[in-house]
Amino acid sequence: MLSLRLRSQLAGIAIVLVAEGAAIAMPTGVFLLYPGNTAPSGADCRSLSARVRPSVEKAEAWYWGRAPFGSEMEFYLFLSKTRMETTFSAEGDYDTGELRNPQTRGDKTTFELVPDDHPAQVVSGWIEQSRDGSVLSVTLHDVPTIAAETDRTTYYCSFDAGTQI
């Protein structure tokens, strides 16, 4: 089960599907990580979902560090209007934390992320979702690394309308 804190943050939030050409509300819910550094197509996401067969229950198991029996290595993003949490963040990483000032214009939502492991740091970024809703990208700006600050984009797949909490 999701933590009570996370569940309460996700509860009652619904994705708003609108007609083509209209603004899309900030996407929320559970998303499957797409491996690789290039943006997947909708077909790529459908293929990954058919192979992995993701579910909210499996995502919650990975969230709590329990690999579901028979699952391949899969990672998820839990996204609400106030939090972003991944099942793959290592201690000291910058992907999980509080979202502040989300503002959606068109299909892009900008935000500030206050990472749980670095509460004095604020990382700006944006979330974009494809028009058909199948692909989600999260870009974080100026993420500290050993060499220098860098931008980092990670791609995710929607896998079931029932996961859009």
Most confident segment among 18-27, 47-56, 109-118, 145-154: 109-118
Place of tokens 């909210």: 56
Average pLDDT over residues 55-74: 80
Report yes or no: 76 and 63 within 8 Å, Cβ to Cβ. yes
Proportion of the chain above pLDDT 70, given as a percent: 78
Average pLDDT over residues 56-83: 84
What is the structure's pLDDT at 161?
A: 54
Residue 115 has pLDDT above 60, yes or no: yes
Average pLDDT over residues 90-101: 85
Residue 130 has pLDDT above 50, yes or no: yes
